[in-house]
Amino acid sequence: MAEKSFTVLDLLDFDLKGHNSLNLRCLCGRSGLGREITLPDLNRPGLALSGFFESFGYQRVQVFGRGETAYLEKLIQGGILDNVHHLFSYHIPCCVFTHNLVPPKVFTGLADAAGCPVLQTDLESTDFSGRLLRLFSDIFAPRKSIHGVLVEVYGIGIIILGDSGVGKSETALELVHRGHRLVADDIVNIRCVNGNVLLGQGANKMISHHMEVRGLGIINIQQLYGVGAIREQKEVQMVVKLEEWDAQKVYDRLGTSQKTEELLGVKIPALEIPVKPGRNIPIILETAAMNERLKTMGYHSARDFNQNVLRWIESGEAQTASHGGYDSY
């Protein structure tokens, strides 16, 4: 469900551009523009117009294409209005007529009386449905705010986590200086789209590309490094946790086992990077990003190395090399 109410008026006011535009306009029923849309789906009301109201998805946006509109006109011409009256007895969010179709006056009169908005678009039904569902997927997506820094490194979206003062912002600043891009610093809003894609962006577009560096203060990355150094949003494809070096802790030195972090029900690769003087964390993150790209292409460096070692041992070359070593003394 959406974090805040989403109304028909919000749907009309959405400023979508290009191939995302819905091209909607209100024909009647303006008193109901405050009706909430609670389900991210749509319904074609052909069965309801024929009198079958079992499992009628009245909570959804009702889309009238050419078939539904032609059948509606036939009902009205025949004076069969019971099903139309019954349709508006439900609390429908709104009705949308595609193809620039004009609903019959009887229909708009009933819609006005019921306070149900009737909208019109010049898009075809299939095109409009696809655009509307994409918008709903974004509006109703589960969301979460995380304290961290989101950067894009070699096309991989990496969210850097860690305790305050561990060096998250400084690491991101060095990555930007090396030609990578900042998405958000401090607070990252993450939403899950289509059930398996995590998109991250700044909590506030006005300040998301500013960065706080201790001893330096607030800096504007866009002004310092140019518009090419920032992104509005990016898919989160890796989690990196920075932590102070702990001599008692055993860190992964082979990388044969893949750790994951679960965010909003989606598991993504995760790394724990110990921080101490002398370690170049930005270079490590660049290497991690390139290594992750190799994994997506089907090549796993650590597993390939492990398999090569096993084949070397099984071939007997390891024993020969060992004996050769002793013979050389």
Q: Which two tokens stand for residue 246?
A: 């702990």
Given the residues 131, 185, 186, 234, the one annotated as active site: 186
Annotated catalytic residue, options 147, 177, 214, 323: 147
Residue 177 known to be catalytic: no
The active-site residue out of 131, 168, 181, 241 is 168
Does the active-site annotation cover 144? Answer: no
Q: Helices (DSSP H) in 78-227: which residue ranges?
A: 82-87, 105-114, 125-139, 168-177, 221-225
Q: How far apart are CA 147 and CA 169, in angstroms?
A: 11
Q: Which of 292, 296, 310 is nearest to 255 (CA)?
A: 292
H/E/C letters for each residue in 222-281?
A: HHHHCHHHECCEEECCEEEEEEECCCCCCCCCCCCCCCEEEECCEEEEEEEEEECCCCCH
Q: What is the DSSP string of 266-326?
A: EEEEEEEEEE-TT--HHHHHHHHHHHHHHHHTT--HHHHHHHHHHHHHHTTHHHHHHHHHH
Rg (CA), the chain: 29
Catalytic residue at 246? no
Which residue is catalytic, options 17, 19, 253, 327?
253
CB 110 within 8 A of CB 134: no
Phi, psi dihedrals of residue 302, rounded to the nearest 5°: -65, -45
Catalytic residues: 147, 168, 186, 253
